Amino acid sequence: MDTHNATLLVVRAAHFAAQKHVDQRRKGESAEPYFNHVADVAAHLAEATGGGDAALIAAGYLHDTVEDQDVTPAELAAQFGHDVADLVAEVTDDKSLPKLERKRLQIEHAAHASLRAKMLKLADKCSNLNAILTSPPPDWPTQRRLAYFDWALAVVAGCRGVNPQLEARFDALYARRGELTAGG
């Protein structure tokens, strides 16, 4: 992909995600716009890959549009190409399954995902752990916050060895797990 096309792809993906998530907020106490989460994931991916993989950065912006906003994989493929659509598909849960089963499958699927989907998962879990640390969902008791950390660690176990920077970022966030029980 030449530089012009790469720039267009990333900007269009960001724009599309901003439109799709316009009414969605994060669950945390500060109720940030959901777009901040996908921008966070895209930025982690851009930094961790030195900006060298535009399709992966675009997928970072788009990774929750199918799961949360009923965008179809075909729509993503038509607008952003199959590479981007396939990356998003790899990190999209099957919402017809019960929540516990989806969570179990994420652990199982992570180990078999493509290298780039593993990076996307790592970046997503980094963003979510950071959100729980900095703006925890008020209706999540401490136990649920801890359980999320531990589940994320299990998912990330299948994503190791693909990107040291993302892995180190995740481990640094996970290391702050004790703050969840520190009463503050």
Q: Enumerate residues 6+ apart whose C-beta is below 8 A from 17.
A: 35, 38, 61, 62, 65
- Comparing CB distances to Zn ion, the nearer of 124 and 167 is 124
Taken in order 113, 140, 64, 6, the sign of the CA dihedral is negative
Segment near Zn ion (CB under 5 A); pick from 11-19, 20-28, 56-64, 106-114: 56-64
Binding characters for Zn ion, 105-124, by CB under 5 A (x = yes) = -------------------x
Q: How far is the CB of 138 from Zn ion (least distance, A)?
A: 20
* 167 touches Zn ion (CB under 5 A): no
Distances (CA, A) of 144 to 92, 116, 117: 22, 29, 26
CB of 183 to Zn ion, least distance (A): 28
In the chain, DSSP finds a helix count (H) and a strand count (E) of 10, 0
Closest residue to bound Zn ion by CB = 124
Residue positions annotated with a catalytic role: 67-68
Residues 6+ apart with CB under 8 A from 46: 57, 60
Tell the smallest beta-carbon distance from residue 3 to Zn ion (Å): 27
Which one of 21, 35, 54, 64 is in contact with Zn ion (CB under 5 A)?
64
Positions in the binding site for Zn ion (CB under 5 A): 64, 124
